[in-house]
A and B are shown apart, each in its own frame.
Chain A
């Protein structure tokens, strides 16, 4: 049995899934200290169930999001080693920074050494500001981390009170700005993550669970709680992962579908393409700062059940949320009221909103039903435009190889999975109007927790080896090193990459049954003069995103 816990803004949901059945589900309030919510949810959901039957607990937390939203980040400074390239002063960084001499190039060669006097001055400056976290980021540090490491060692020796982190430990992604920001957010949230980890461990003890605990990531995979201490940013924005996986659970294999999560204020759309959640081509942003975190492609609109209806110059417009729907005691006519009026929602009686709907319709000289339908049409059109934009972005993802350019991306959905309060009514209308298959899972109220419970551990692994320099690097932070054998061809490189991957997969507890997908494998002749002096290999493999299994009897209830 698997437990999924989803921490939302208002409620924390917990479910237990056994094979393809939901055996228990609870909803408890979210407290300021989210570990209390987790504890309550665990106790309630486990009532009457033997804790030793639980194989795994997966949490979708808002821990990092809350720290950032509440401005509880530790004060930090950035030490930047840009080397040649774009002017770093034209980038925005989340904290104060100092630029240092030194440079590493694309092959990982040190082309300019550090000036230790500069390093000393910069550290002195930050220490005088009472800054106790420093992140170090050097361009191409994933290809050669030695300059970053030199500074880290210097700080550890001379400023033991300052915590320091090198960007190559955070990610091996080709984008030093994202790595720098990533190092900043990792080091400034580290303490809170450690505290959370301790609390969770004691909570588990208390409720008698001794199974492994996983945390949901932004890309819909999971990672073990202990690894989330090392890569805490991976756990940010897990909400959309939870809801998308939750929606996926009621479908069948290889389905292409749209997940529409309609809340009071916002609507989130994500895509499932041939059974896999779509991941955004570019990584996530925190407070508009790009970070090296893979995330699902999610399109959010400021539209929801509580969206008020405005009449502007004889045209219907949507406004910003004022409060709840009229039929629930609010003060303005909202989308929910329209659904109630048309009989698509039974949270109130149609007669409760009749008068106001008629008033609005009269202003436009429209018959009330026609007026109401045009509101739903407008709502759906807006969502459909967003959807089209998402597909366009997906189709337009840059391709750097002939085979990628030629592989067609023409997949279009045939079904819609609706989550959230107003989703049922809008989904029904959508289905009537557009002829799509609309699925509203019966467990929609705890879909996110189900998504968490069914999530599986995934790794996207990019391997890059340079046989002339006998070095390799990977996309996983801190995983780079010396090649132990000369790789002669792509097969050699693939085997070597796979070995390293298997090492991580073991640490991350990746299910051995999940199939591996090769994203690309290629070798480049490094030719100087007319001599081949070495080879560069690039291998990309990943465990396919998706869910552990589909839930039974959840298919199609439109």
Chain B
């Protein structure tokens, strides 16, 4: 890949002024209104270092490359989702054309809670914008190693789920401890499947963690992990609810903290995720991140509330930060067990669990299987059954051929698909062939012919 050098920062701003989950839901039209006001009023869009792009629609295939939408894509998405996901792809194309050195998609709806199987909306998300971006970059531009750093206050459980068995995607999530906040996951022992062990790094933090703790985990955990992994590209899930004014979480991070972290992390592409302090945080944090990406001075970006609130971390928080830093230091300095050892004698990783969809009140029962292959990341299979209080329930069976699968696994996956269909235990069968970029669905008759 040869790239022209550009000094510009790309921006796609899509506030979706005509889309909401419901009129008073946090994910409503008003969410980016004040961010619009602040960014436009600053006059920085006249700055030649920032180039604003028009958003575009993602294609169905971009979504199929990541998700098993149940029963189909149209049931799980609105036009706003296609546009929000498409915004990240627009920046990817501009980045690869050498028009920009980095980019920021200030878009909604968000996506990082959307998992591979989608029965409904979880944590305000239906489809995963960053995962769609990663798979697009790999398919269209041949990237291999990509890192996603999730700085939203909520654990990026959707992104974790999608790349849990992918050794080429490093996922790092820092968030408020799952014992105190939705979605209740993101503990350190969720460290990646046997084929991608330690490629999933969770950094749960106590409520009350501020800029100080943020920089400590950046310096002591994230930075070394990134430098060890050597990603070809870094994506930031730029949620903004670690902010000290966020109404849904309890952290103490400031706009300066977010901007400085952006400056240090130097993400190639950043995508807005959560953040629901729409007046007190978003206008300032979005501006801070944008200025930091553009290499402009962000030191004047200060929330008016800051002076009136004590933002110092407590001793307990400091102690906890030290503890997690020590934990990851120890884990990462040991030689990890081999892939063979982790898979064990069966060569199959198997995990059964329940997943709750808060927005849509759905209980999903899931059985995940990952198959060992000495030569490639191996086949992945998921059996999933939804349980809704109203509406149709589906049992699905999805098989994934990873993008870097070996020919043996590719064939094995098609054989497995045939066997599964013959067994006939599910309503819908999916085969996600990321090598051929071909996505098959059998069983459910979509009302809309594609």
Seen from chain A, the residues whose Cβ lies within 8 Å of a Cβ on chain B are: 82, 84-88, 90-91, 103, 105-107, 111-112, 139-140, 174-178, 282, 290, 395-403, 405-406, 522, 524-527, 529-530, 532, 536, 538
Contact = CB atoms under 8 A, between A and B. Distances in A.
Nearest to A405: B83
Given A399-B54, A530-B24, A536-B33, A87 B38 contact: no
B297 interface: yes
Nearest to A175: B43
A498 B299 CA distance: 42
A86 B33 contact: no
Contacts of A398: 12-13, 52-55
B317 interface: no
A272 to B, nearest CB: 22
A174 B37 contact: yes
B16 A290 contact: no
Contacts, number: 130
B8 to A, nearest CB: 14
A90 B56 CA distance: 32
B41 A140 contact: yes
A24 B14 CA distance: 52
Nearest to A139: B41
A527 B41 CA distance: 23
Given A107-B34, A175-B43, A524-B30, A85 B54 contact: no
Given A84-B304, A527-B24, A530-B24, A405 B57 contact: yes
Contacts of B36: 174, 400
B103 interface: no
Contact of A87 (B56, B283, B299): B299
A111 B57 CA distance: 39
A388 B386 CA distance: 51
B265 interface: no
B284 interface: yes
A106 B53 contact: no
Contacts of A526: 30
Contacts of A177: 42-43, 46
A176 B46 CA distance: 11
Nearest to B11: A398
The 9 closest A-B pairs by CB, nearest first: A177-B43, A106-B37, A87-B297, A174-B40, A111-B304, A524-B30, A290-B46, A396-B54, A106-B34
Given A106-B41, A177-B43, A405-B56, 20 more contacts: A84-B303, A85-B300, A85-B301, A90-B297, A107-B34, A140-B41, A174-B40, A175-B40, A175-B46, A177-B46, A282-B45, A396-B54, A397-B54, A400-B17, A401-B17, A402-B80, A405-B57, A522-B29, A524-B33, A536-B30
Contacts of A525: 23-24, 28-30
Interface of B: 12-19, 23-24, 28-30, 33-34, 36-38, 40-46, 52-57, 79-80, 83, 247, 279, 283-284, 287, 291, 296-304
Given A85-B287, A402-B83, A522 B17 contact: yes
13 contacts: A85-B301, A91-B43, A106-B38, A111-B304, A139-B41, A174-B37, A175-B45, A176-B41, A397-B54, A398-B12, A405-B54, A527-B30, A536-B33
A401 B46 CA distance: 21
Contacts of A86: 42-44, 287, 291, 296-298, 300-301
A290 B44 CA distance: 11
B301 A84 contact: yes
B41 A402 contact: no
B41 A399 contact: no
A457 to B, nearest CB: 27
A402 B16 contact: yes
Given A398-B54, A525-B30, A84 B291 contact: no
B287 to A, nearest CB: 6
A174 B29 contact: no
A150 B124 CA distance: 45
A25 to B, nearest CB: 40
Contacts of B55: 398-399, 405
Contacts of B279: 106-107
Which of B12, B14, B33, B41 has the most chain A CB atoms inside 10 A of its CB? Answer: B41
Contacts of A85: 38, 41-42, 287, 300-301
Contact of B296 (A90, A397, A402): A90
Contacts of B15: 400
A405 to B, nearest CB: 5
A176 B42 contact: yes
Contacts of B12: 398
Which of A396, A399, A405 has the most chain B CB atoms inside 10 A of its CB? Answer: A405
Contacts of B283: 106
A526 B30 CA distance: 7
Contacts of A139: 41-42
Nearest to B290: A86
A330 B342 CA distance: 85
A527 B279 CA distance: 11
A402 B46 contact: no
A522 B291 CA distance: 29
Given A139-B41, A398-B52, A406 B79 contact: yes
B5 to A, nearest CB: 22
Contacts of A106: 34, 37-38, 41, 279, 283
Contacts of A529: 247
B304 A282 contact: no
Which of B17, B34, B279 has the most chain A CB atoms inside 10 A of its CB? Answer: B17
A399 B56 CA distance: 9
A89 to B, nearest CB: 8
Contact of A84 (B14, B18, B302): B302
Nearest to A525: B23
A117 to B, nearest CB: 20
Given A174-B41, A398-B53, A536-B30, A403 B18 contact: yes
A401 B20 CA distance: 12
B31 to A, nearest CB: 9
A386 to B, nearest CB: 19
Contacts of B45: 175, 282
Nearest to B24: A527
A91 to B, nearest CB: 7
A402 B19 contact: yes
B300 A87 contact: yes
A59 to B, nearest CB: 30
Contact of B16 (A90, A111, A401, A527): A401
A521 to B, nearest CB: 11
Contact of B14 (A87, A400, A524, A538): A400
Contact of A532 (B24, B298, B299, B302): B24
Contacts of A402: 16, 18-19, 79-80, 83
A526 B23 CA distance: 10
A82 B24 CA distance: 32
Nearest to A141: B41
Nearest to B26: A527
Nearest to A393: B54
Nearest to A399: B54
A62 B299 CA distance: 42
Contacts of B46: 175, 177-178, 282, 290
A106 B38 CA distance: 6
Contacts of A524: 17, 28-30, 33
Contacts of B299: 87
A524 B79 CA distance: 20
Given A86-B301, A405-B57, A290 B43 contact: yes
B62 to A, nearest CB: 16
B41 A175 contact: yes
A369 to B, nearest CB: 40
A525 B299 CA distance: 32
B358 to A, nearest CB: 16
A131 to B, nearest CB: 24
A176 B43 contact: yes
A527 B53 contact: no
Contacts of A87: 296-297, 299-300
A518 to B, nearest CB: 14
